[in-house]
Amino acid sequence: MTKRILVVDDEPYVVESCVQMLDLKGFDVRGAANGSEAISLYQEEKFDLVLVDLQMPGMNGLEVLRALKGYDPSVIVAILTAYGTKETVVEALRLGAREFMEKPVNLRTLVATVNRLLENNHRNIVRGSLRTLSLPTIVQVNSVERHQARLQVNHQGRAGYIYFSGGEIMHAEVDSLVGAEAIYELLTWEEGAFTLEMGVLPPARTVTDGWSGLLMEGLRRIDERSVADSIGDPIGDKDSDNGDDRDWGQRPVYSISPKASEQIEHLLEELLVKVEGRCVLMTGRGGRLIHWQGDISKGQAISLAALVSGSFSATAEIADVLRDEGQAR
């Protein structure tokens, strides 16, 4: 029986090109220019697969996904996205999107993806690019949602795996690395593809630390290395300052990438909710401030970071509750 596909995008040329290519490959394809039209079409003529653009005026792709899942929980939906906030992409993942395809759409890749989704419609698998969903975000969502799953990440011919169960990371491996060290290595992969398969049991238990601490430590290591490279001070070169940070007052706060800053800020916000305090800090070697979140000034954050001198090996330092006009307990 011919498979039926619905393509939803507010850009006519995207709909037209996708419809023409899929029609040539033998699919029964319809196009819709907006979310309302797509929902009406689906209710009138059920489809085997829906391709929907994330960013559309009026009813966006997230709202279309939510409505379709409410009407038919078994619907297979693939998201087309050129851009989008992390929050909308994460919500699409939580709502059950099965694929995240980057725009502009490569039509040959489109056909291969459609065939794969239809062939594996009985398996609960999500695929996408790390440019669309970063590894820290995927880890966070799987842990918070308490999924049992296997995450496969591919990058420049290498493959790594992270296993989740009961809200925790159970096992990780890449090349010869296992456990936490494998996670730290995988966190350095900013580009690549991921495949998330639900219901897969972990083969072993090699990770015992909490997921948030692992992410914090991994991001800290990345930014330590980045800053050390930028100032010509390789990590592990103890002779560079002999551990003496008395000149900290003249040293700048770490400068980190916007992407890393966003990921760290989100993690710190979550930690701040969990602890009874007014701020949470991430510090680097010698107590140098990487990032902070909370109701304190930059100067107070720098001062508190300096107090944790020697914390290079720590995952993160949680500041004590600030009292009486900025005095730390």
Higher-scoring residue by pLDDT: 264, 149: 149
Q: Give pLDDT tens digits for 172-194.
A: 999 999 999 999 999 999 899 99
* pLDDT average, residue stretch 26-49: 95
Complete edge-to-edge strand list for the sheet that includes strand 49-53: 28-32, 4-8, 49-53, 77-81, 99-102, 125-129, 193-198, 149-155, 158-165, 168-174, 177-178
- Mean pLDDT (the chain) is 79
User: 287, 310 in Cβ contact below 8 A?
Assistant: yes
Residue 125: pLDDT over 70: yes
- Cβ-count burial of 321 within 10 angstroms (0-12 exposed, 13-18 middle, 19+ buried)? exposed
Distances (CA, A) of 93 to 67, 99, 117, 202, 244: 15, 9, 16, 22, 46
* pLDDT average, residue stretch 60-84: 90
pLDDT for position 10 = 93
Q: Mean pLDDT check: name the lowest of 30-44, 155-169, 208-222, 231-245.
A: 231-245
- The half-sphere exposure of 275 on its side-chain side, counting CA atoms within 13 A, is 19
* pLDDT average, residue stretch 292-312: 61
Reported as a pLDDT band with limits 50, 70 and 90, residue 306 is low
pLDDT for position 289 = 66
pLDDT for position 318 = 29
Give this prediction's pTM.
0.61
Architecture per CATH, domain 1-120, reads as 3-Layer(aba) Sandwich (3.40)
What does the domain layout of the chain look like in residue ranges?
1-120, 123-208, 235-328
* pLDDT average, residue stretch 30-38: 96
User: Which token pair is 321?
Assistant: 């509750």
Distances (CA, A) of 264 to 72, 125, 227, 299: 37, 28, 16, 19
Residue 32: pLDDT over 70: yes
